[in-house]
Structure 1
Amino acid sequence: MSALFNFSSLLQVILLLICSCTYVHTQWPSLLDRYKDHEALGAFWKMARIGERASPYVSLACIIMAINQFNS
């Protein structure tokens, strides 16, 4: 089944995108900053912002999703 049709998988994909974008932005900030005002690629910059500003909640969500994966 596609990750778009399964809610749990969709949440995992979004969470992994947030974590990946945050990591890329901390390593190479100019890579995402140049597309900040772009319509489609600006979403990655926004995900990096979510990961930076809500990092305790994102890390807690990562831990919960990991426990969920181990239990299933």
Structure 2
Amino acid sequence: MSALFNFQSLLLVILLVICTATYAHQVAPAIMNRNQHGFMGVFWKAARIGERLSPYVSICCAIMAVSLFLQ
């Protein structure tokens, strides 16, 4: 089953994209800031979400980990 059809898997993919983009922006901010438009702009926006909402993103990651562990 694809992650697009399973809501929990879709949330997991979104959280992983946000966390990965935030980490990549911390390592190489010049690369991320150059690509603010187009397809690569999605990763720039995900990095912004991860930076500004980091407590909420980390809580969501912990909840997702617990829910996957209990399955």
Q: Where on the TM-score scale, by shorter chain, does this alignment land: which range? A: over 0.9
Are 1:8 and 2:8 an aligned pair? yes
Q: How does 1:38-49 map to 2 (within 5 A)?
A: 38-49=37-48
Deviation, structure 1 residue 6: 0.2
Identical positions, percent:
59
Q: How does 1:1-72 map to 2 (within 5 A)?
A: 1-36=1-36, 38-72=37-71
Deviation, structure 1 residue 23: 0.3
Letter matched to residue 52 of structure 1? E
Pairwise CA RMSD of aligned residues?
Answer: 0.5
Unpaired runs of at least 5, structure 1: none
TM-score, normalisation: structure 1: 0.96
